[in-house]
Amino acid sequence: MPRHRFAIAVAALILATSAADAQNPPPGTYRPGLGDLMTMTVQPRHLKVGIAGEERNWTYVKYETHELEEAFDRITKLVPKWREFDIAALIASSVKQPLQDLEDAAKVESPPLFYDAYEKLTAACNACHQSANVGMIVIQAPKGSPFSNQNFHPQKP
Ligand code: HEC
């Protein structure tokens, strides 16, 4: 093959390859936003803790409250700032204490302490939503479970 023809063939190949790359870009890393993390990792756990408290399932309340705490810890690391808001500081000043109170209530298996802490947690969710200018997101104690495939009754050891 004459030299110039070879060069044209190589150039054509490079063009074809980059066109194919543009059509099939490599898969990007999935980066959920704050609203995604709230919907996926915070909202269902807030709900499950509420149902388990109704069921007096203290072992599970302790477990799931800890999961919720970890979900907030991961949000603190992944989304420390959202718009102009310091999410890490807001988490520390809003939900941390009620989460601790919930764990304490579950340890002593006290329904009144549980309800008190759960109400404070829910109020903290809403206080943060208001501080972050998303006050239209209103959280409340659940009315029944959408997780019909999970049994929240206490199990015998
Ligand atoms: C640190 C502040 C903060 C705390 C604490 C917080 N949230 Fe949020 N939440 C936000 C912000 C800000 C958004 C909006 C994020 C966005 O639009 O990307 C949000 C969004 C949400 C959404 C998505 C709304 C929708 O309908 O799509 C849900 C659900 C939610 N939060 C539930 C909760 C619950 C339940 C709690 C408490 C257990 C909680 N949040 C605590 C700041 C907070």
- Pocket test residue of 38, 39, 45, 78 for ligand 1, highest count of atoms within 8 A of CB: 38
Q: Is the CB of 49 under 6 A from ligand 1?
A: no
The model carries a pTM of: 0.86
* Residues 101, 116 contacting (CB under 8 angstroms): yes
Query: For the purposes of burial, counting CB atoms within 10 Å of the CB of 102, is it exposed (0-12), middle (13-18) or buried (19 or more)?
Result: buried
CATH number, domain 34-131, options 3.30.870.10, 1.20.120.290, 3.40.50.300, 3.40.50.1100: 1.20.120.290
Q: Is the CB of 127 under 6 A from ligand 1?
A: no
- Digits of tens for pLDDT over the chain (157 positions)? 566 776 666 666 565 555 556 567 667 888 899 999 999 999 999 999 999 999 999 999 999 999 999 999 999 999 999 999 999 999 999 999 999 999 999 999 999 999 999 999 999 999 999 999 999 999 999 999 999 999 999 998 7
All structural domains of the chain with their residue ranges: 34-131
